[in-house]
Structure 1
Amino acid sequence: MESIAFKKGQNLCGYTITQVTPLETIDSLMVQLEHIKTKARHIHILNKDKENTFGVFFRTVPQDSSGVAHILEHTVLCGSKEFNVRDPFFSMIKRSLSTFMNAFTASDWTMYPFSTQNPKDYYNLMNVYLDAAFFPRIDELSFKQEGHRLETIETEDKDIELEYKGVVYNEMKGAMSSPAQVLGRSLLASLYPDTTYRYNSGGEPSEIPTLTWENLKDFHAEYYHPSNSYFYTYGNLPLEETLLFIGKKVLDKFERLDIDSKVPSQPRWDTPRKATQAYAYSDPEDLSKKYQACVAWLTCDIKDSFEILVLTVLEQILLGNSASPLRKALIDSNLGTALSDSTGFDSDNRDTLFTCGLKDITKDSVKQVEDIIFSTIEKLADKGIDQNLIDSAIHQIEFHRKEITNTPYPFGIKLLLSFAGTLIHDGDPVSCVNIDDDLDKLKKQIKKGLFLEKKLRQYFLENSHRVLFTLEPDTTLEQKNIQETKKELKALLKQMTQKDLEQIKKDAKILEELQEKEEDVSVLPTLDLVDVPPEIEIIKPDTVKNVTFSTCYDKATSGILYFTCPMGAGNIPTDLFALVPFFCQSFINSGTKKHSYEKIAELMDMYTGGISATPFSGSYFSKEAQSHSFLALQGKVLDRNVERLFDLIKEFVEAYSFKDFDRLKSLLLQYQAGMEASIVSNGHRYAISLASRHLSQASYINELWHGIAQYKFIKGITEQFKTDDKKNKILETLSKNLGKIAKSVLTRGNIKPAIIGDKSSITVAEKRIKAIHKKLSNDSESSFFTPDISFKQDLPYDGWYTNTSVSFVGQSFKTVRMTHEDSPGLAVISKILRSLYLHREIREKGGAYGGFAIYNPEEGLFSFGSYRDPHIKRTLDVYKKACDFISNGDYSQTDIKEAILQVCSEIDKPETPGPAAMKAFYRDITKLDDDIRRQFKDSLLKLDKKRIQDIAESYFTINETLKGTAVISSKASLEQANIQLSLEEKQLNLFKI
């Protein structure tokens, strides 16, 4: 990357360039600048990536847990000086081809980033983002909508009661229903009692109502100033134009201020401490093993890049895989099922922290967990760390810095998040990307001997700034919280005059009218359909000499080879089908006939970027639409280690073993714990899966493999362990069944390998794949179909209860698949409904964190969903009215154009070469050919209002009995909803998760 255009000390568009640094591993150049007038800092990463990223962020330092930083993040996006509309942020999602738009609140910064491939879009979005951040309206009604407000409700006895509403209020009620969130927030409060980290920057539900509108405006005035700001740009657009744009729009209008927003270092303790925190758990029958215990240490300063690297390596050594000594010691203790929430090294705060522990333990086991942690670390410090563990840890760091992907965020966003914390605490962002010098220094220190062992003593054994933290279940806590809130509201009501109550009603009415009001958003910039590239990205397999068996893609993948191999699941015995996801876990993680699971884990980390097996189910995109089911064995590796990857693949395929019963039991318990933890954080996905499970065979298999059905199936196996005399018998049966699955998929005619990377690596891989293939049994042909598994045809109307103080409401019904001419219209309708109806009704009015519509073109299913929702009955009514809304045609051609832009944004989302080729290969596997994709996009770009209305009338006027409905919530909320639903003579069937 040439650095001729930019030089240190150069003045550029009102800025001084403070540093210019090549970032060779990502073929980029980092230019650091400081605005001369305001001292705003700007980081630009110049490269050839056409997916350009912009971000502006501020150091924000809350002094309480009222959620001021979080509520401000929401509220500044509700209208600004130039764009005086109610919701410019969500409106721009419709008027853009962005590949990413969001805002984040961390413990000590607030960020507003986006990415797009379209230059016009880039400046449109930057204009709106800058106006929102620096010149927001922050009006009182927006604060009440997004933060918190009081509303009156009339009871059955005609009494008046008060209730709290607000998007952030309900979001945080949902967030704090999760044990992981409670543990993470409480740990910060315990470990940093003297700094901003002791406060919940998201907001504690009990404290959010203490925040006033004036507090919010003051917080903006204090922190959202150019002198406390950091700008970030990434990609191939000219830096000068961006700087001039920011200068004219914002910086020229401000003078420098001296803003003291620095976060001091936490004063260190002389003696360790203990802390305990309760979390709401509603099942008194299942209480004894629902504790978590962990030890957390305050470690190094975030600005010390070398020590950050040391701790990252120690994290990998201690906890990185199942062979890691601390992970293994904790899991093998059989005291719990999985590592505790928050386990790992966290380098985002001013002082970094390291945590490890165990979940699903008894109260009596807390001390044992602490003893295991210290005895394991002491043993390593005394006897030395195995060199293989060190080598594999360093290899993992080298691999992941070389791999460039756009998952889960565009790479430009991921890069920003990797150094934002360092930057806001006045560290050097270059040190977060260019780690070669630190890596060389570390390797030299390790060679001298016992370097990492000394660091174990420094950071863990001799570090008195630590806390032994216990998370304990409390079956009365949720009810206590509800009662306290009711008591608080009753006290407030007593203090209120009739005039106060009238004002609350008046505010509610004004807010509702504002939410209902049709707005003219033409003031906002927009793209037009002519800005959408009409073509689709087409990636075809390449021809490489002597590669005849595998599908191959000769791509520039930064020295990494990607391997994937789908294997049909159609010959798996039907009574074992629910076991397939766990088979995928255990096939890779339970050892082989040659090596223990520890040795396999060590080899994988030392030589590969990971090997996995994953189950997939769905329907072919061809007109016949048969259901397919397959497993994919995947791996990725640096070019120099291709042979090593296939040594391991060969061992898995030829020497698989499920004979280590203790390991099988441990894997089952970890798998169950992982699913259990995901239910509240992904409740909307589980609810939609439950709602659609009887609409098609593929949907049923999806629920069986990935939904609550899978969780219940696994829990059914682990429940049997409670009777010790059965344990070995159960594990023996499980072992035999896993072997049957392996035998049914690992046959010569049933594999379809693909390789992506450099030609020379592809050639090496092909030889190894052919040799492995030759040794497979020849029992069956390809089985990329779903066996005939029967399922109920009646559509669910269910409520599923678990530990949550908010609800997730899902509803699904059948439409048509991607090959049908109506399919593009259904995709557009999903965006119209979300933007014009569900967002307003479920989020703005209902106070849920999100409401959305999803069209699944593979299965031809249309779904509604809500996330962290305070309502059930009301939301189900909204879904009914949403169908009426779309059928009535109360939307314009402009609305349709904006929805088309959103669909195109998803279709054209870019990927880096390796993952892009992988997606192309799986399109071929599932028969999604380029003609189907091209026809879909061509039809999409031609849609008009009449066509959309015709499609809406065809699919959205169906009877309610043709829709599947499922709600995940607390038992009390579901019972309350059934009282309301009883008036309609149909109640939810209740089930315990």
Structure 2
Amino acid sequence: MNTFTDHNNPGLNSGDRIGDYCIKRVVELKEISSFFYELEHTPTGARHVHISNDDKENTFSVAFKTVPSDSTGVAHILEHTALCGSEKFPVRDPFFSMLKRSLSTFMNAFTASDWTMYPFSTQNKKDFYNLMDVYLDAAFFPNLNMLNFKQEGHRLELDGEELVYKGVVYNEMKGAMSSPDQVLGRSLLNALYPSTTYRHNSGGEPAVIPTLTHEQLTAFHKQHYHPSNSFFYTYGNLPLKDHLSFIHDKILKKFERIDPKTDVPSQPRWDRAKVVSYPYPLGPNEDPVKKYQVCVAWLLADIKDTFEVLVISLLEHILLGNSGSPLRKALIDSELGTALSDGTGFDADNRDTYFVCGLKDVEESAAEKIEKIIFDELKNLADKGIDPKLIASAIHQVEFHHKEITNTPYPYGIKLLLFFSGSWFHGGDPVRILRFDDDFKHLNEELAKGPFFENRIKTCFLNNPHRVLFKLTPDQLMEQKENERVRTELEHIKSGLSPAELQKIKQDAEALAKLQESGEDLSKLPTLEIEDIPPSVHIVKETDLKLESGDSEAGEATSNFQFPISIYQQPTSGIFYFDSAAGAGGLRKEMLPLVPFFCYAFSKVGTARRDYIEMARLIDAYTGGVGLSVHARNNFGETRDCLPFIGFTGKCLVRNLDKMFDIMQELLYEFNFSDLTRLKSLLLQYRAGLESMIVHNGHGLAISLASRNFSVTRALSETWNGVHQLQTIKKITTDLTDDKLKAFSDDLMSIGKSLFIGNNFKVAMVGEQGALYDAMPLTSKLLADSRQQTSGMGFLPPAITLGDQIPREGWSTSSAVSFVAQAFETVRMDHEDSPVLSVISKMLRSLFLHREIREKGGAYGGFSMYNPEDGLFCFGSYRDPHIVSTLNVYDNAGDFIKSGNYDSEDVKEAILQVCSEIDKPDPPGPAARKAFYRKIISLSDEAREHFKKQLLTLTRDRVIKVAERYFDSSRKQAVAVISSEEKLKAANEKMADNPLKLYRI
């Protein structure tokens, strides 16, 4: 008799039928308090996995194996085009329209090397089925018309007399292939999988994208987006039967089974290793000598072999997992490069998994040396053995991260799907991945027999001929050559066009512009109403933890304790979280730019008692992470000033409480930056990380640059997180002598001594009741060990003087696309206009900027953001082919929002978007941390609730009045653009009367 007790789906058992579905398996997942259902739709062969639990944040996804046979980007362009209207919802952009009509906590679509996925999450049942209806129709019955293909994929247009390429995906991939890590990742697949689909760039090579035809796109959809090639996934507390009935009635009953022919074969293995080299674009002003990347990459196990995948995941952690890991240490200690190469680690997303390790910022001649270091270290480990503590630590890390529930970067239901989907799509068993106890039991049996991991090093690496020595080579002429190639190609195309064909290009451009400008009836799309939004906000209350009479030790510890502790009793699945904040406002002005690196290096540099290797291994063996982070916030209390603080956090399994507090105690009171060799290594790694973020986060960095002179908080944020942080580190790392390092080490020690004193701490504990009782005396002891007493003098504004100029700047870097930002001041959250400004930011993005910057301009994204904490309103664009026209769009945004050329439904949709962000759920640990940080900056739950209630009463007339108040030409507008030097100079020629002041990143 079945003993399952899934109260969401009572009475469902293996072998049962639900309409045309057969339940193949029902499995209890005790580790995550869930039930797993695996089903097949018999007539079509559609697969369905459902995970049932008490989570109100329900998730849906439909995915398809998409197996490109070229680098035209057909799968990627199809993903975009499928979301441009469908049979039931024939509107121009139902995906972006539903972002406005929903309370979704996540909506997106992904294209990987061999699959495409359409997932969403929401806490609202009505919303769930609204979104599923739109997603299903978009995937299976899209309107793949020619104009949408031209907009999202590629098209020819006339710019004056010149022919140019345009298209959202075309520009997105131009931006992506400007980034060394993207080039390396795509090139590695090309090198390792020369015989399978992975050799192609599924996102699309900019040089190849224009060869894709509309006919090829529609044929690809017909073959790949079919139920017989589909993988459905649902998660949460809604009943499974309702999901199945909905999917069957809307989609599956209209199809019959086919053979989609999308199986991906295993890559035939080589009998000898290869050496390969691929170029990437480097700016003409950068020194190319140490801008190479070198790595060794091996093809490994079949993704369906869950035991081997687990073993190699553990090997990855043993070899590379922390700064004390032997292979990582050997590479970094060589000083041949600054950091591990892009792509380093184990990748288990493809049919055949692979492993990469190497170094970045190296000289070309270092390739063979790096290869020798890697093989020497692997051979040494295989011959002499691996420290058992490294193995235990790796197993602990896997256990911890399986147990911890997080929503970063995706909701938990989507994270679970991504955890097993790669294997599932290729015929693997999701349950084996979700219930890893059997594989761990097998592992322990193998470990008992002898040198298990040592033997795996031999088979996976030393004796595996399917590997490449890979070199990524900087090419300072690459962008210029590509621009010239495109120019020549377009001239050749134009020379072969008849007058009628040129006229057709003009007519297509006019038709697309007309389509983009046209109003449309969105009433066909489902929507939520204001009444569907709860007026409350999620509140995480502190717990009044009453110590029982038997807890004499805890009581004694707290009676002498001068630090108030915020206690949050939360269901954290056996994990304890320690959160604290040290005020940073008392630091000397010259020390402030060094604080982010201080935080980065703090737990990586060792202590007075242990070197960094011992410390790294100790942290991994007993915690889920211990470290520092910087926070530049605004106070909502009486002073309303900038409130900078350093977060000191740790998390562990409850059984390791004592060990974690011992580690934190040692870090806090015995920190030591005297190992200059280690300090230099960390500086170079930190710099490499900052440099790699430029192209990935160009929009955020541009906004930070534009915003920095509006407030002390924004100035500090730029100092800590922006381009100026990179410039600080570049200056420090230029000509790093021992004397310079010693002085820097002294500065870091000074920062620590200023921060970690007396009651310059605010403290929180998060966990289940037993853990909180056990942690109370440990927390008391940790902070009672302070040698000095202050009055929390670090929780005050920093010693920063604002610049007197409102920026209008261009910052050059190696990029084929631009990131354009504009910012101006408004009012903060406690002002009556604040909720309206939040709504205006959403309206401008969805009603104006999306059309002007993405659809017309071809940028990947255009957006507006209002920050109620400091009152700054910002515009930004991402992977943008334009600069001047985008700035003109920003200038026209005010006219649009003041015009009232929108209706009450548009206002309602913007309110839904803001409320969706407010109501986005967090797992117990992060939710409590956010509550603790709100307490630090004096942002009350009453203020948050008042803000939301004001939102729900907004009218169109109120929006227009507030828009007239803040969107006027006399308001100071700051501008910052990150792009190539060539593009910035060209933009300045067009803006000769008001040019950008140019800088180099």
TM-score > 0.5 by shorter chain: yes
Task: Kindly state the Cα deviation for residue 659 of structure 1 after the two structures are TM-superposed.
Answer: 0.4
Is contact 1:611–1:633 with CA below 8 Å preserved after alignment? yes
Is contact 2:79–2:116 with CA below 8 Å preserved after alignment? yes
Task: Kindly state the Cα deviation for residue 494 of structure 1 after the two structures are TM-superposed.
Answer: 0.5
Q: Which residue matches 1:454?
A: 455
Letter in 1 for 2:618: L
Q: Which residue matches 2:771?
A: 761
Q: Is residue 2:817 matched to residue 1:817?
A: no
Match of 1:679 among 694, 709, 712: 694
Q: Which residue matches 1:652?
A: 667
Is contact 2:711–2:802 with CA below 8 Å preserved after alignment? no
Within a 5 Å distance, the mapping from 1:832-981 to structure 2 comes to: 832-959=843-970, 962-981=972-991
Is contact 1:15–1:36 with CA below 8 Å preserved after alignment? yes
Match of 1:692 among 678, 687, 707: 707
Match of 1:704 among 719, 743, 758: 719
Q: Distance in 1 between matches of 2:238 and 2:773?
A: 38
Mark the CA change 1:276 to 1:972 in structure 2 (over 3 Å): closer, same or farther: same
Q: Which residue matches 1:246?
A: 247
Q: Is residue 2:630 matched to residue 1:615?
A: yes
Q: Which residue matches 1:828?
A: 839
Is contact 2:588–2:799 with CA below 8 Å preserved after alignment? no
Match of 1:22 among 24, 28, 44: 28
Q: Distance in 2 between matches of 1:259 and 1:92?
A: 30
Q: Distance in 2 between matches of 1:243 and 1:899?
A: 32
Q: Is residue 2:757 matched to residue 1:744?
A: no
Task: Kindly state the Cα deviation for residue 769 of structure 1 after the two structures are TM-superposed.
Answer: 2.0
Match of 1:988 among 992, 996, 1001: 996
Q: Distance in 1 between matches of 2:286 and 2:192?
A: 33
Q: Is residue 2:497 matched to residue 1:493?
A: no
| Runs (5+) with no aligned partner, structure 2 | 548-553, 559-563
Letter in 2 for 1:753: V
Task: Kindly state the Cα deviation for residue 509 of structure 1 after the two structures are TM-superposed.
Answer: 0.4
Q: Which residue matches 1:157?
A: none
Paired residue secondary structure (2:759): helix
Q: Distance in 2 between matches of 1:793 and 1:643?
A: 51
Q: Which residue matches 1:2?
A: 5
Paired residue secondary structure (1:752): strand
Q: Is residue 2:321 matched to residue 1:320?
A: yes
Deviations 1:592-623 (A, max 9, x none): 00000010000000000001100101211236
Task: Kindly state the Cα deviation for residue 216 of structure 1 after the two structures are TM-superposed.
Answer: 0.2
CA RMSD, 1 decimal: 1.0
Paired residue secondary structure (1:132): helix
Q: Which residue matches 2:338?
A: 337
Q: Which residue matches 1:427?
A: 428
Match of 2:85 among 79, 86, 89: 79
Q: Distance in 1 between matches of 2:581 and 2:456?
A: 44
Within a 5 Å distance, the mapping from 1:284-363 to structure 2 comes to: 284-363=285-364
Paired residue secondary structure (1:673): helix
- Number of equivalences: 980
Q: Which residue matches 1:396?
A: 397
Q: Distance in 1 between matches of 2:127 and 2:464?
A: 51
Is contact 1:78–1:85 with CA below 8 Å preserved after alignment? yes
Q: Which residue matches 2:257?
A: 256
Task: Kindly state the Cα deviation for residue 890 of structure 1 after the two structures are TM-superposed.
Answer: 1.0
Deviations 1:170-212 (A, max 9, x none): 0000000000000000000000000000000000000000000
Match of 2:576 among 561, 566, 589: 561
Q: Which residue matches 2:551?
A: none
Deviations 1:694-716 (A, max 9, x none): 01010000000000000000010
Match of 1:591 among 598, 606, 609: 606
Q: Which residue matches 2:804?
A: 793
Match of 1:60 among 44, 61, 66: 66
Within a 5 Å distance, the mapping from 1:159-238 to structure 2 comes to: 160-238=161-239
Q: Which residue matches 1:772?
A: 782
Q: Which residue matches 2:18?
A: 12
Letter in 1 for 2:103: L
Paired residue secondary structure (1:519): coil
Q: Distance in 2 between matches of 1:514 and 1:149?
A: 15
Q: Distance in 1 between matches of 2:437 and 2:970?
A: 63
Q: Is residue 2:97 matched to residue 1:91?
A: yes
Task: Kindly state the Cα deviation for residue 791 of structure 1 after the two structures are TM-superposed.
Answer: 2.4
Percent identical pairs in the alignment equals 55
Paired residue secondary structure (2:804): coil
Task: Kindly state the Cα deviation for residue 6 of structure 1 after the two structures are TM-superposed.
Answer: 2.0
The more displaced of 826-835 and 618-627 is 618-627
Q: Distance in 2 between matches of 1:817 and 1:206?
A: 47
Paired residue secondary structure (1:753): strand
Match of 1:642 among 652, 657, 669: 657
Q: Which residue matches 1:808?
A: 819
Q: Distance in 2 between matches of 1:747 and 1:797?
A: 41
Q: Which residue matches 1:379?
A: 380
Is contact 1:806–1:869 with CA below 8 Å preserved after alignment? yes
Deviations 1:633-680 (A, max 9, x none): 100000000001100010011111010001111111001100100110
Task: Kindly state the Cα deviation for residue 533 of structure 1 after the two structures are TM-superposed.
Answer: 0.8
Q: Distance in 2 between matches of 1:972 and 1:799?
A: 11
Task: Kindly state the Cα deviation for residue 759 of structure 1 after the two structures are TM-superposed.
Answer: 2.1
Q: Which residue matches 1:724?
A: none
TM superposition outliers: structure 1 runs of 4+ over 6 Å: none
Is contact 2:633–2:642 with CA below 8 Å preserved after alignment? yes
Letter in 2 for 1:2: T
Task: Kindly state the Cα deviation for residue 744 of structure 1 after the two structures are TM-superposed.
Answer: 0.7
Letter in 1 for 2:633: G
| Runs (5+) with no aligned partner, structure 1 | 155-159, 722-726
Q: Distance in 2 between matches of 1:527 and 1:738?
A: 53
Q: Distance in 2 between matches of 1:511 and 1:521?
A: 19
Name the TM-score, length of structure 2 as normaliser: 0.97
Letter in 1 for 2:896: F
Q: Distance in 1 between matches of 2:920 and 2:429?
A: 31
Task: Kindly state the Cα deviation for residue 789 of structure 1 after the two structures are TM-superposed.
Answer: 1.3
Q: Is residue 2:295 matched to residue 1:281?
A: no
Paired residue secondary structure (2:194): coil
Q: Distance in 1 between matches of 2:200 and 2:98?
A: 32
Match of 1:145 among 144, 151, 154: 151
Q: Which residue matches 1:730?
A: 740
Match of 1:668 among 675, 678, 683: 683
Match of 1:101 among 99, 103, 107: 107
Paired residue secondary structure (2:735): helix
Q: Distance in 2 between matches of 1:676 and 1:613?
A: 21
Match of 1:134 among 136, 140, 152: 140
Name the TM-score, length of structure 1 as normaliser: 0.98
Is contact 2:264–2:351 with CA below 8 Å preserved after alignment? yes
Q: Distance in 1 between matches of 2:230 and 2:668?
A: 54
Is contact 2:583–2:796 with CA below 8 Å preserved after alignment? yes
Task: Kindly state the Cα deviation for residue 289 of structure 1 after the two structures are TM-superposed.
Answer: 0.4
Task: Kindly state the Cα deviation for residue 778 of structure 1 after the two structures are TM-superposed.
Answer: 2.1
Is contact 1:296–1:354 with CA below 8 Å preserved after alignment? yes
Paired residue secondary structure (2:795): coil
Q: Which residue matches 1:116?
A: 122
Q: Distance in 2 between matches of 1:793 and 1:943?
A: 36
Q: Distance in 2 between matches of 1:937 and 1:111?
A: 33
Is contact 1:623–1:819 with CA below 8 Å preserved after alignment? no
Task: Kindly state the Cα deviation for residue 763 of structure 1 after the two structures are TM-superposed.
Answer: 2.3
